[in-house]
A and B are shown apart, each in its own frame.
Chain A
Amino acid sequence: MSLQPDDLLQTYLDDLLVIDASEAEPIKPVSSGEITDRKALSQKAATEDDKRLQLQKLLHSAKLQVAQVVDAPASEELETELTADTTKVLEASVAEVEESHPELNESALAVESLQQELAWSENGRPQWAQDVFEVLLFKVCGLTLAVPLITLGQITPLTDELTPLFGQADWFMGLQPTPSGKVRTVNTAKFVMPERYDSVFEQTAKYVISINGVPWGLAVDTVEQPIRLSPEDVKWRTERSQRPWLAGTVKEHMCALLDIPQMGGLLTRADKNAR
């Protein structure tokens, strides 16, 4: 009898499913005692595996530490050599630039000198306020503020040429062209007292007071005459971790005295392009 292809395939598959009784081991019944022993053996094996794994990790860690200790002197030597080489190259470059552009060196020295002059001394007053000093009073949104004259650059009118830039901090008004270059103009009201800010300031601001040494300027409503103050006329702040741009209060005029170098530093740090 000849088989059809479908029958042949079915027979083949059936043969695969059949277990050869001669090869298969008989299934023995297992007692509960044997099960307990097997479990104990299995747990013991697992514990030993864990210990072996921990030991391997410890050995690996120790090898790494030894390798680091061995490598360290070579690394330090290399770093020292590299630093020395870099310093030489930098010094040569600086000398070359200073020779070709002497004005840069003068400017850096002037900034350094100004920073020293504007630093606070141990008696809790800035260097510029050790004796009688002059401040300029100006108004921002009805608030009178004072800035030491020594820290100021120029006063220029705020014009329509003020160019806002998108993507800047909200207190950045724009670039104001002046005879000495573009001044990055700060919305002073928003910068120093955001909690009392009135947007009308953007229409009332008339002048930009530029800060000496940095390309920043403060937009203000009105500028008043400079006044002379003695250090005792000011209540100086002792702790300036918060609002570091506030140096103290001018007692007679009940107005805030700005620490312009601090403010300039904050503005410069806020300027991502300066980094």
Chain B
Amino acid sequence: MATNANQNINSDDPVLQWVTFRLDGETYGINVMQVQEVLRYSEIAPVPGAPAYVLGIINLRGNVVTVIDTRHRFALPAGEVTDNTRIVIIETDSHVIGILVDSVAEVVYLRQSEIEMAPNVGNEESAKFIQGVCHKNDELLILIELNKLLTNEEWAELDEI
């Protein structure tokens, strides 16, 4: 496709696609290449003894997928499930997980040069997941680095859910 933004239009300033979602009034973006699919909210079965950041598991066409409580991970207050709530199925280096978000907004195209480094001055839990920020349509878009969403130990822990 000519508009495939993940191909370098300009090798010095590649264009990337980001899927944006909303969480507690903020807009976040994740690399489209890591998104497998977006599901409407369905019942999430709790797992006894699972860590606090795990909401539970869902059955995705015969496969058990662990769903992460994104609000908890980002140290945000708990939210209610609405018609807009979605489970975004994402694929990292070696895992397929779901993240629960308030809503999925759109797919945006961003040039690498448009992405700014986020100031790294806080000690908040969510700061370490931020890959960068971008001002788009008078709105701040926070880009998430999914691989850092969990520590190595936590990724390993997910295998044993």
Give A contacts to B, CB under 8 Å: 143-145, 192-193, 195-196, 235, 237-240, 242-243, 246, 249, 251-252, 254-256
Task: Verify B49–A235 contact, CB threshold 8 A.
Answer: no
Chain A residues near B48 (CB-CB < 8 A):
143, 145, 192-193, 196, 243, 246, 256
Chain B residues near A145 (CB-CB < 8 A):
48
Residue of B nearest to A234 (CB): B64
Given contacts A239-B160, A249-B57, 18 further A-B contacts (CB under 8 A): A143-B45, A143-B46, A192-B49, A193-B48, A195-B49, A196-B46, A196-B48, A238-B159, A238-B160, A239-B159, A243-B48, A243-B160, A246-B48, A246-B49, A251-B63, A251-B64, A254-B59, A256-B48
Q: Does B52 make an interface contact (CB < 8 A)?
A: yes
A127 to chain B, nearest CB (A): 21
Chain A residues near B58 (CB-CB < 8 A):
254
Residue of B nearest to A192 (CB): B48
Give per-residue flags for B58-83: 1 if the beta carbon is below 8 A from chain A beta carbons, else 0: 11001110000000000000000000
Cα separation A193 to B52 with both chains bound (whole Å):
11
Cα separation A270 to B63 with both chains bound (whole Å):
35
- Residue picked from A145, A192, A239, A254, most chain B C-beta under 10 Å: A254
List 11 contacting pairs A-B, 8 Å CB cutoff, sorted by A.
A145-B48, A192-B48, A193-B49, A196-B48, A239-B159, A240-B160, A243-B48, A249-B64, A251-B63, A255-B45, A256-B48
Q: A251-B64, A252-B59 are in contact. Are A237 and B46 (CB under 8 A)?
A: no
Cα separation A254 to B48 with both chains bound (whole Å):
12
Q: Does B118 make an interface contact (CB < 8 A)?
A: no
Task: Verify B57–A254 contact, CB threshold 8 A.
Answer: yes
- Interface size of B in residues (CB-CB distance below 8 Å): 18
Chain B residues near A144 (CB-CB < 8 A):
45
Chain A residues near B63 (CB-CB < 8 A):
251
Cα separation A255 to B45 with both chains bound (whole Å):
7
B78 to chain A, nearest CB (A): 14
B151 to chain A, nearest CB (A): 16
A254 to chain B, nearest CB (A): 4
Cα separation A254 to B160 with both chains bound (whole Å):
15
Q: Does B47 make an interface contact (CB < 8 A)?
A: yes
Cα separation A255 to B57 with both chains bound (whole Å):
9
Partner of B160 from A195, A237, A256 at Cβ < 8 Å: A237
Q: 10 tightest A-B contacts by CB?
A: A254-B45, A193-B48, A192-B48, A243-B49, A235-B64, A249-B64, A239-B160, A254-B59, A256-B48, A237-B160
Chain B residues near A193 (CB-CB < 8 A):
46, 48-49
Cα separation A239 to B43 with both chains bound (whole Å):
27
Task: Verify B59–A251 contact, CB threshold 8 A.
Answer: yes
Chain A residues near B45 (CB-CB < 8 A):
143-144, 254-255
Chain B residues near A195 (CB-CB < 8 A):
49, 52
Cα separation A254 to B43 with both chains bound (whole Å):
10
A262 to chain B, nearest CB (A): 13
Partner of A251 from B46, B52, B62, B161 at Cβ < 8 Å: B62
Cα separation A192 to B59 with both chains bound (whole Å):
22
Chain A residues near B47 (CB-CB < 8 A):
249, 256
Chain A residues near B159 (CB-CB < 8 A):
238-239
Per the 8 Å Cβ criterion, residues 74-121 of B in contact with A are none
Cα separation A235 to B46 with both chains bound (whole Å):
15
Chain B residues near A143 (CB-CB < 8 A):
45-46, 48
